[in-house]
Amino acid sequence: MAFEKAKEYLKQFGLENKVMEFDTSSATVELAAEAVGCEPARIAKTLSFKIEDSCILIVAAGDARVDNKKYKAQFHTKAKMLAFEEVEELIGHAVGGVCPFGVNDGVKVYLDESLKRFEIVYPACGSSNSAVELTLPELERASRCEAWIDICK
């Protein structure tokens, strides 16, 4: 299961004790914020995109929206999100639990500048009823991000 895979992945960084599992769904930004008990903007949503024959993940603040012009300037192509049915196979986590931890080989992770206004954020942890409380340095290290980028409004 993706939850165990993500939690196991976080062990190498000593972050497995920061994982939270809920009795309710945290599959959307709003539901996750309610489950965690924080404002929606602090939910670090993970968006999955296709670029040519590879996939990327962009982790952004819960209230941020991708700016198509900024995306194209950064990646030299139009933003094309993965279809619902492609996500689990190509990323390794199902929609609602997509996170940058324990993803399939070759999936590159980017962190959006929209997260930088917070000290602590809450990305999912591989399931639709989990989250992990991380500081930005912890998120940066555990996600093994390629770079911080600015592609959101």
For the cut 90, the answer to whether the pLDDT of residue 57 exceeds it is: yes
- The whole-model pTM stands at 0.96
Amino acid 71: pLDDT: 97
Q: What is the mean pLDDT of residues 89-102?
A: 95
Which amino acid is present at 143? S
pLDDT value of residue 2: 85
In this prediction, residues 79-103 reach a mean pLDDT of 94
DSSP conformation class of 39:
-
What would the mean pLDDT of 24-43 be, rounded to a whole number? 96
Task: Using the predicted structure, report yes or no on whether residue 113 has a pLDDT greater than 80.
Answer: yes
C-alpha distance from residue 30 to each of 10, 21, 41, 74, 89 (Å):
24, 16, 9, 28, 25
Q: Which CATH superfamily groups domain 2-149?
A: YbaK/aminoacyl-tRNA synthetase-associated domain (3.90.960.10)
Average pLDDT, the chain: 96
State how far the Cα of 87 lies from the Cα of 92, in Å rounded to an integer: 7
Cα separation, 16 vs 147, in Å, equals: 23
Stretch 20-34: mean pLDDT, rounded? 96
